[in-house]
Chains A and B, each alone.
Chain A
Amino acid sequence: MTELGYLLIAVGVLFDIFGTFGLVRLPDVYNRLQAATKCVTLGTCFILIGVALSGPSLGFGVRAILCAVFILLTSPVGAHALARGAHLGGVKLWEKSVVDKYEEDAEKVQEAMAAPKAKQSD
């Protein structure tokens, strides 16, 4: 179990390194957010699961797994909020980007935001 844990930690660190590469090399805010949130989320989850397997006690492992669950739930929400905020704040996409439907539909988006929230069943 301990060896498997170490292996998972190594894999996690590898993914984190790729994420960091992406953060430095990719061109604009949105692409960098992709690298910073996805590779790093998966990498960190791998590290936490590895810690859970190789940790000294059961309580240690349960906490690590819970942390992984919370990261999985919160990190996409944070990424979405940053990307949307950046776009609404006027940050442009990289000049070689091929399409920006969000910009094309900007009026529709503004309308939807101004309209009163529609009641939904959930």
Chain B
Amino acid sequence: MRKKVSAFILLFAFWLLLTFSVEPGFFVVGMLLSVLVVVLLAGRHPRREWLLNPLRWLWLLIYMPYFFYYCIKANLDVAYRVVHPDMPIRPGIVKVPTTLKTNLAKTFLANSITLTPGTLTVDIVGSDLYVHCINIHTDDPEEQTREIVGRFEGLLKRIFE
């Protein structure tokens, strides 16, 4: 029950921000929709003890600019490769292992990898990520792992595990 109430509050808060209006009609529709979504998705919430730990939120705040930096850097790299007349790309799908355990952390890692240009997560099987890279610098699997997973893994471990 507590989970449902907190999910409802979260959804309704999103609705209020999205409509950004105090008209009663919007309130009623928002409440109905929030209840509907909570009922439809009952029991599908992740474990949420970590939500209460402020240290994890602090690491999340540190993670965001860190991720943004790599995102911009990689974006410029891909932009350069795309407009270069010879298109110096060396694509392929590599397999990189991760030490993260929970599904939530793995999802976050996979999404971070996908949002960083030049790398795209195709699938996760067990603890292995299959990542499509636009430009593979090295054929050494350990080097690849360090380059693709290593930069995010440490911080994500602090946030989620």
Size band of the interface chain B makes with A: 35 or more
Chain B residues 106 to 161 lying within 8 A of chain A, measured CB to CB, are 110-111, 114-123, 125-126, 128, 130, 132, 134, 136, 139
Q: State whether A84 and B20 are in contact (beta carbons under 8 Å apart), knowing that A18-B83, A120-B102 are contacts in the complex.
A: no
Of the listed residues A18, A108, A109, the one surrounded by the most CB atoms of chain B closer than 10 A to its CB is: A18
B90 touches A (CB below 8 Å): yes
Complexed CA–CA distance, A101 and B141 (Å) = 11
B46 touches A (CB below 8 Å): yes
Q: State whether A80 and B120 are in contact (beta carbons under 8 Å apart), knowing that A39-B78, A42-B75, A122-B47 are contacts in the complex.
A: yes
Complexed CA–CA distance, A112 and B124 (Å) = 10
Q: In the complex, are the beta carbons of B79 and A39 less than 8 A apart?
A: yes
* B113 to chain A: closest residue by CB: A76
A3 touches B (CB below 8 Å): no
Q: Which of B75, B82, B120, B132 contacts A21 (CB 8 A)?
A: B82
As a 0/1 sequence over residues 69 to 103 of chain B, the CB contacts with chain A under 8 angstroms (1 = contact) are 00110110011001100010111111100000111
Task: Please give, as numbers and ranges, the residues of chain B lying within 8 Å of A30 by CB-CB distance.
Answer: 91, 93, 120, 122, 132
As a 0/1 sequence over residues 71 to 100 of chain A, the CB contacts with chain B under 8 angstroms (1 = contact) are 011011101100110010000011011111
Size band of the interface chain A makes with B: 35 or more
Q: In the complex, are the beta carbons of B117 and A31 less than 8 A apart?
A: no
Q: State whether A42 and B132 are in contact (beta carbons under 8 Å apart), knowing that A35-B78, A79-B114, A100-B93 are contacts in the complex.
A: no
Task: Please give, as numbers and ranges, the residues of chain B lying within 8 Å of A38 by CB-CB distance.
Answer: 74-75, 78, 114-118, 120
- A-B contacts counted at CB < 8 A amount to 150
Q: State whether A21 and B21 are in contact (beta carbons under 8 Å apart), knowing that A33-B120, A66-B14, A72-B115 are contacts in the complex.
A: no
Q: In the complex, are the beta carbons of A122 and B46 less than 8 A apart?
A: yes
B18 touches A (CB below 8 Å): yes
Q: In the complex, are the beta carbons of A22 and B94 less than 8 A apart?
A: no
Q: In the complex, are the beta carbons of B18 and A101 less than 8 A apart?
A: no
Q: In the complex, are the beta carbons of A77 and B117 less than 8 A apart?
A: no
Q: Which residues of B are interface residues toward A (Cβ below 8 A)?
A: 14, 17-18, 20-21, 46-47, 71-72, 74-75, 78-79, 82-83, 87, 89-95, 101-105, 110-111, 114-123, 125-126, 128, 130, 132, 134, 136, 139
The 6 closest A-B pairs by CB, nearest first: A59-B20, A76-B114, A38-B117, A99-B92, A101-B95, A122-B102
Q: Which residues of A are interface residues toward B (Cβ below 8 A)?
A: 15, 18, 21-22, 25-28, 30-31, 33-35, 37-39, 41-42, 58-59, 62-63, 66, 72-73, 75-77, 79-80, 83-84, 87, 93-94, 96-103, 105, 108-109, 112, 120-122
